[in-house]
A and B are shown apart, each in its own frame.
Chain A
Amino acid sequence: MMTIVRSFLTFALCLLPSALCAAQTPPAQSPAPAASAVASPILRVFLDCYECDTEYQRQNVTFVDYVRDRADADLHVLVTTQDTGSGGSSWTVKFIGLGRFQRQDRTFTFTTDQAATGDDRRKAFSRIFKIGLLGYAAETSVAPQLDLTWTEPTQLRSSADRDRWNSWVFRVNLNGNLNGERASTFKSARLSFSASRTTDNWKINVSMGGNVDRSTFLLEDDRTVKSQRDNWNLSSLVVKSHGPRTSSGLRAQLWHDSFGNYRRASRIAPAVEFDFFPYKESNRRSLAVQYSIGPTRYQYVDLTIYDKMEETVPTHSVNLSVGLRQPWGSLSAVADFAQQLSHRDRYRSGVFGNADVRLFKGFSFNLFAEYARIKDQIALRKGTASTEDVLLRLRQLATDYSYFYGFGISYSFGSIFDNIVNPRFNGPGFFFF
């Protein structure tokens, strides 16, 4: 064994200086751009996409250079996705020309199926990405090596299921989790069902779901602490479109939540919504205001601090939301206010904001924050909470406010390129717990 150790150490010591040496000299495989009538260098692309598997694109779409920052690019490829009525994705790929390609912008859209695997999705994007790049790359030194292929389809796409279900889509999801060691175990299960129908004029969604969490802790004095949280809900939303900016809707809900002390609660509330931008631009910008009004009926698990076991409360609420996804980054914010109509002093108001901004070359920041002022905790349990209730967050505690925030800044500099995929010694990959 020691021989092996010794030989490794010898190898390692040899490795270190050569590694540092390599860092100072150009690599052996430096390219010689292909001779061409077109003198322009390789197209520099900034791929701005969360869902494209960029490592796969860098490994498979190799007729462009990838750069890490928009400021170094000839072309900014901005990709956004939205859910389709069947649960798939509708992709919008915007090619934004920069520098010598200024004002040469193109937009392509395509969809992937709800059953598409990661491989299907990255391949579908890759094809559109390549075709979109073609017009720009044709003006660079790789032009002689590019060609477009077309294979004649063997049969026409069938759209047989187009009418049979009248746009209804049904989904069932079941998930279970189990983990543990000697002194603690955790189990959870979740089941949900939904039926939805999405068209341009109507959106209908009916869903139900339930969730159970159980934990056990074995303390050092051999006491066992058990915890349990459960909730379920049945909800429906029906939305009718009125023109490109206005919609009306009706929400009806029935739910149970042990954390919040709700044995059963139900609410029905009609609502209207207005978007200052047309809804069809919603993947890039929206500014919407929504108002809803209706009664809520509560039945509690334990007696509340107001000595109630049940009550009915009429409430109304208004919220204003803004969403932007632009070349400089993305921004979204929501402000909402909900008030009991029978006790005007019982209300809740909150603001939430989220920003992800590229401020200048190499520098970006992200921020999300929410603050809520809470004056409507009518469901609080009477009596004091135990230590376990507090530490394991098993019940709602009295509070006038709640907040959360996250803030991050990142600065990078150095090589502008991001072409190479080197997976060696990455450790086990492909895990999605």
Chain B
Amino acid sequence: MRRFLCAALLGVSTLVGATGLARAQETRTPSDQPATLRVSLHCDLCDLAFLKTNIGFADFVADAETAEVDVTVSAPAATSTEWKLAFAGRGRFAGRDRAFTFSAGAAAIDETRKELARWLKIGLAEYALDTGAGAQLDVKFNRPSTNTSTPSANRDRWNYWVFRVGVDAFGNGEQATVSRSYFVNTSANRTTENWKIRIGGYRSLNWNSFDLGDGETIESNVSDWSADTLIVKSLTGHLSAALTASVTGSTFSNEERVGQFAPGVEYDIFPYSESTKRSLTIQYTVGPAFYDYEAETIFGKMTEKIAKHTVSTSLGLSQPWGQAGGSFILTQQLTALERTRLTFSGSVRVRLTRSLTVNASGSYDRIRDQFTLEKGEASEEEVLLRQRQLATGHRYRFSFGFQFSFGALSNITVNPRFSL
């Protein structure tokens, strides 16, 4: 044993030593690029001084041999207003060519030389990206007041409706254990800025079998299904109203069929248009629910009708320092006010320094509404295989992690060898 370990460590240390001889130049860092783009401009009517001042990321060189891009600008013929630009890559950019045309007046006019500079910048962008100046480039889009990002309905014969069908199957096994699951789902969605409509359905089945070796086999079956719809109307940039309705079933929860219907409102403190960066919403829904049970509940019921309301608030942030989120949900039965469920959850991932990132997440449920629990004792298999919901007054989940790195953090070498 020790012999092997020594041999392993010896082998490693020999190779580590050998690499000390390897020069650090093998490594790539982001600064290994030419500083600026060398451009050779062929243009009789251009105001070169103006272009040099306005296109700071390029060097306009007189010697065409040292240039990485050749640009030929053809001024409009007498009766035309059409300018032509041809970009041709040289050296490492060989083969990268592009041509543009645009309309403008005579070259002496200020508007025209500005327009020419803009088109030159657009054409040079893709080359300049691969130079030292590339990191400071960005695209500005002066969005017109009408929303051009939204496709017009006459181009869309489906009027925004998208339909999906999916089937998935998973399985694994060896001689003594087999597990299989199936999942079928379908949906119809229509998403616009003003309306969001979703109609969906799914069914899942999960089957496990264990051979205990003494001739006894244990099987477990868990399945659930759902048909649901959500209709949301945008009222303002911060406010929405919705209607949710669903019919669901779950063997785990002793629910043969549960029908629910709930209108609701939601308010986002931040505009919804910033949702990928930050949101803080408050939501209220209220409505009836109809339960049909698979087995008699601990309250001796096979069927039940309740009304409940839910208030929730949730925060989501994705910012340069990291991400954070949290929510608080309170559900209460209107027909039995003491039946409540309170859920707190939160998560955070923060980069504290370039070397240290920490993350934590957790949730806590205070449960006072387990009225659907099946009567009678659960068997050992049902407990160990989590086949049915068990009585509990609380549920918690907590996880944390930290990642600390140091060393050559600027090394961008990709070495895919021995990846398996």
**Which A residue's beta carbon lies closest to that of B325?**
A430
For the complex formed, measure the closest distance between the CB of B71 and the CB atoms of chain A, giving whole angstroms. Answer: 14
- 0/1 per residue, A65-107, Cβ < 8 Å to B? 1001000000000000011111110100000000000001010
The stretch of B40-48, B140-148, B249-257 that contacts the partner chain: B140-148
Residues of chain B with a CB closer than 8 A to A145's CB: 141-144
Residues of chain B with a CB closer than 8 A to A179's CB: 395-398
Residues of chain A with a CB closer than 8 A to B386's CB: 184
Q: Do A18 and B408 have beta carbons less than 8 Å apart? A: no
Residues of chain B with a CB closer than 8 A to A87's CB: 405, 409
A-B residue pairs in contact (CB < 8 Å), sample of 11: A8-B264, A31-B152, A142-B141, A181-B390, A197-B19, A198-B413, A319-B420, A334-B420, A384-B214, A416-B156, A432-B359
Residues of chain A with a CB closer than 8 A to B161's CB: 23, 414-415
Q: Do B408 and A119 have beta carbons less than 8 Å apart? A: no
- 0/1 per residue, A46-68, Cβ < 8 Å to B? 00000001011001101101001
Q: Do B167 and A408 have beta carbons less than 8 Å apart? A: yes
Given A115-B355, A390-B212, do A15 and B16 touch, yes or no (CB 8 Å)?
A: no
**Which A residue's beta carbon lies closest to that of B140?**
A147
Closest 5 pairs between A and B when the two form their complex, measured CB to CB:
A252-B8, A430-B325, A26-B153, A404-B172, A399-B174
Judged by DSSP, the binding face of B is: mixed
Q: Do A252 and B11 have beta carbons less than 8 Å apart? A: yes
Q: Do B137 and A430 have beta carbons less than 8 Å apart? A: no
CA A43 to CA B133, docked complex, whole Å: 27
Residues of chain B with a CB closer than 8 A to A378's CB: none
Q: Do A415 and B162 have beta carbons less than 8 Å apart? A: yes
Q: Which of A173, A240, A387 has the most CB of B within 10 A?
A: A387
Q: Does B195 contact A (CB under 8 A)?
A: yes
Residues of chain A with a CB closer than 8 A to B170's CB: 404-407
CA A31 to CA B153, docked complex, whole Å: 9
Q: Which of A130, A147, A403 has the most CB of B within 10 A?
A: A147
Residues of chain B with a CB closer than 8 A to A266's CB: 1, 4-5, 8
Given A174-B402, A297-B1, do A430 and B316 touch, yes or no (CB 8 Å)?
A: yes
**Which A residue's beta carbon lies closest to that of B144?**
A34
Q: Do B169 and A408 have beta carbons less than 8 Å apart? A: yes
Q: Does B407 contact A (CB under 8 A)?
A: yes
Residues of chain A with a CB closer than 8 A to B135's CB: 153
Query: Of A139, A204, A385, which one neighbours B16 at CB under 8 angstroms?
Result: A204
Q: Which of B7, B123, B153, B417 has the most CB of A within 10 A?
A: B417
Q: Do B24 and A163 have beta carbons less than 8 Å apart? A: yes
Q: Do B210 and A150 have beta carbons less than 8 Å apart? A: no
The stretch of B61-69, B105-113, B239-247, B296-304 that contacts the partner chain: B239-247
- 0/1 per residue, B385-420, Cβ < 8 Å to A? 110001111111111111111111111111111111
Q: Do B383 and A183 have beta carbons less than 8 Å apart? A: yes
Q: Do A282 and B416 have beta carbons less than 8 Å apart? A: yes
- 0/1 per residue, B322-359, Cβ < 8 Å to A? 11110100000010000000000101010101110101
Query: Of B11, B192, B244, which one neighbours A27 at CB under 8 angstroms?
Result: B192
Q: Do B263 and A4 have beta carbons less than 8 Å apart? A: no
Query: Of A119, A138, A399, which one neighbours B319 at CB under 8 angstroms?
Result: A119
**Which A residue's beta carbon lies closest to that of B162?**
A414
Given A18-B233, A178-B398, do A419 and B150 touch, yes or no (CB 8 Å)?
A: yes
Q: Do A118 and B318 have beta carbons less than 8 Å apart? A: yes
Q: Does B295 contact A (CB under 8 A)?
A: no
Q: Do A42 and B148 have beta carbons less than 8 Å apart? A: yes
Query: Of A53, A114, A131, A240, which one neighbours B276 at CB under 8 angstroms?
Result: A53
Q: Does A152 contact B (CB under 8 A)?
A: yes
Given A161-B409, A165-B407, list of 9 further CB < 8 A pairs? A111-B412, A179-B397, A182-B390, A219-B380, A249-B418, A290-B418, A406-B170, A408-B166, A417-B151
Query: Of B56, B325, B395, which one neighbours A428 at CB under 8 angstroms?
Result: B325
CA A34 to CA B208, docked complex, whole Å: 60
Query: Of B96, B122, B144, B266, which one neighbours A424 at CB under 8 angstroms?
Result: B266
**Which A residue's beta carbon lies closest to that of B261?**
A12
**Which B residue's beta carbon lies closest to that of A186?**
B397
Q: Does A307 contact B (CB under 8 A)?
A: no
**Which A residue's beta carbon lies closest to that of B189?**
A414
**Which B residue's beta carbon lies closest to that of A417?**
B151
For the complex formed, measure the closest distance between the CB of A152 and the CB atoms of chain B, giving whole angstroms. Answer: 6
Q: Do B140 and A422 have beta carbons less than 8 Å apart? A: no
Q: Find residues 217-258 in chain A having any chain B CB closer than 8 Å to their own CB.
A: 217-221, 225, 236-241, 247, 249-250, 252-254
CA A295 to CA B5, docked complex, whole Å: 12
Q: Does A397 contact B (CB under 8 A)?
A: yes
Residues of chain B with a CB closer than 8 A to A321's CB: 420
Q: Do B410 and A65 have beta carbons less than 8 Å apart? A: no
Query: Of B137, B146, B174, B420, which one neighbours A149 at CB under 8 angstroms?
Result: B137
Residues of chain B with a CB closer than 8 A to A405's CB: 169-172
Q: Do A420 and B191 have beta carbons less than 8 Å apart? A: yes
Residues of chain B with a CB closer than 8 A to A200's CB: 26-28, 413, 415
Q: Does B258 contact A (CB under 8 A)?
A: no
Given A170-B406, A414-B158, do A119 and B151 touch, yes or no (CB 8 Å)?
A: no
Residues of chain B with a CB closer than 8 A to A240's CB: 15
Q: Find residues 81-130 in chain B having any chain A CB closer than 8 Å to their own CB.
A: 96, 98, 100, 102-103, 118-119, 121-126, 128-130
Query: Of A28, A133, A254, A401, which one neighbours B5 at CB under 8 angstroms?
Result: A254
Query: Of A159, A288, A415, which one neighbours B410 at CB under 8 angstroms?
Result: A159
Residues of chain B with a CB closer than 8 A to A297's CB: 1, 4
Q: Which of A111, A148, A153, A271 has the most CB of B within 10 A?
A: A148
Q: Find residues 377-433 in chain A having any chain B CB closer than 8 Å to their own CB.
A: 384-385, 387-388, 390-393, 397-417, 419-425, 427-433
Residues of chain A with a CB closer than 8 A to B156's CB: 415-417
CA A33 to CA B140, docked complex, whole Å: 18
Residues of chain A with a CB closer than 8 A to B175's CB: 397-401
Q: Does B203 contact A (CB under 8 A)?
A: no
Q: Do A220 and B378 have beta carbons less than 8 Å apart? A: yes
Q: Which of A157, A217, A290, A417 has the most CB of B within 10 A?
A: A417
Q: Does B173 contact A (CB under 8 A)?
A: yes
For the complex formed, measure the closest distance between the CB of B100 and the CB atoms of chain A, giving whole angstroms. Answer: 6
**Which B residue's beta carbon lies closest to that of A53?**
B276
Q: Do A11 and B263 have beta carbons less than 8 Å apart? A: yes
Q: Do A279 and B416 have beta carbons less than 8 Å apart? A: yes
Residues of chain A with a CB closer than 8 A to B8's CB: 236, 252-254, 266, 268
Residues of chain B with a CB closer than 8 A to A204's CB: 12, 15-16, 19
Residues of chain A with a CB closer than 8 A to B379's CB: 220
Residues of chain A with a CB closer than 8 A to B390's CB: 181-184
CA A84 to CA B377, docked complex, whole Å: 55
Q: Do B405 and A117 have beta carbons less than 8 Å apart? A: no
Given A177-B398, A290-B418, A430-B325, do A65 and B412 touch, yes or no (CB 8 Å)?
A: no
**Which A residue's beta carbon lies closest to that of B155?**
A41
For the complex formed, measure the closest distance between the CB of A293 and the CB atoms of chain B, giving whole angstroms. Answer: 14
Q: Does B50 contact A (CB under 8 A)?
A: no
Q: Does A108 contact B (CB under 8 A)?
A: yes
Q: Does B206 contact A (CB under 8 A)?
A: no
Residues of chain B with a CB closer than 8 A to A342's CB: none
